[in-house]
Amino acid sequence: MGDKLTLSLTVLLTGFAVVFAVLLILIGIIKLYGTIIYNIQNKGHKKKKDSPTAKVAAQTDKVMEPVLTVEADPETDDDELIAVISAAVYSMYSSKVQIKSIRKAKPASNAWRNAGLSNLRPF
C-alpha cells in the first residue's frame, strides 16, 4: 500500500513537473522568437504577410473599411454570390460594413479548412 502510494505520487509529481516544464520552456522560446520575427517583418514591409492567418486578417481589415463603392471581380461577377457574401458579412459586422471587392482566396491549408475536412481524417 505504502509502495503504491509512493509510486503513484512520484509519477504524478514527475509527470506534472516535466510536462509543464517542457511546455513552459516552449512558451518562452516561441514568445521570444515570435516577437522578434513579428517586429522585424512588420518594420520591413507592413503589408507583405503570407501566412493564411494573415490573409484572413488582411481581408477582414479591408472589409471593415467604411467605403461606399461595391465592386466585384469580373471572374466572380455573380449577383447572387455578392448578395450572399454581403449578407454573411453584414450579419457578422453590422451595417458599418460595405463590400469593396470580392476575390477568390487561394486554396491554402489552414485550421478552418482542416476542421471542415476533418471527417476525412482518422484522428
Partner 1 sequence: MDIWNGFVEALKGLLEQSGFLSLSWQNYVMMAIACFLMFLAIKKQYEPLLLLPIAFGMLLVNLYPDIMGAPNINLVEIASVNDPAAKGHVIREIGEKIYYEDPTYGGLLYYLYQGVKLGIYPPLIFLGIGCMTDFGPLIANPKSFILGAAAQIGIFITFIGAIFLGFTQAQAGAIGIIGGADGPTAIYVTSKLAPELLGPIAVAAYSYMALVPIIQPPIMKLLTTKKERSVVMAQLRPVSKLEKIMFPVIVVIICAIALPSAAPLVGMLMLGNIFKESGVVERISKTAQNELMNIITIFLGVTVGATATGTVFLTPKTLGIIALGLFAFCMGTAFGVLFGKIMYKLSGGKVNPLIGSAGVSAVPMAARVANKVGQEENPGNFLLMHAMGPNVAGVIGSAVAAGVLMSILG
Residues at the site binding partner 1, with contacts judged by CB under 8 A: 4, 7-12, 14-16, 18-27, 29-31, 33-34, 37-38, 41, 49-54, 57-58, 60, 92, 109-112, 114-115, 118, 121-123
CA-CA distance, 113 to 123, in Å (whole number)? Answer: 15
Task: Indicate the Cα dihedral angle 111, 66, 102, 56, nearest 10°.
Answer: -20
Give the nearer residue to partner 1 in terms of CB position, either 74 or 122. Answer: 122
Please state the closest distance from residue 110 (CB atom) to partner 1, in A.
Answer: 6
Please state the closest distance from residue 83 (CB atom) to partner 1, in A.
Answer: 20
Please state the closest distance from residue 34 (CB atom) to partner 1, in A.
Answer: 6
Give the nearer residue to partner 1 in terms of CB position, either 101 or 118. Answer: 118
Give the nearer residue to partner 1 in terms of CB position, either 12 or 83. Answer: 12
Task: Indicate the Cα dihedral angle 5, 8, 12, 15, nearest 10°.
Answer: 150
- Work out the number of other CB atoms within 10 angstroms of the CB of residue 102: 20
C-alpha cell at 60: 477582414
Among residues 74, 59, 62, 67, which one has the least CA distance to residue 110? 59
Please state the closest distance from residue 100 (CB atom) to partner 1, in A.
Answer: 20
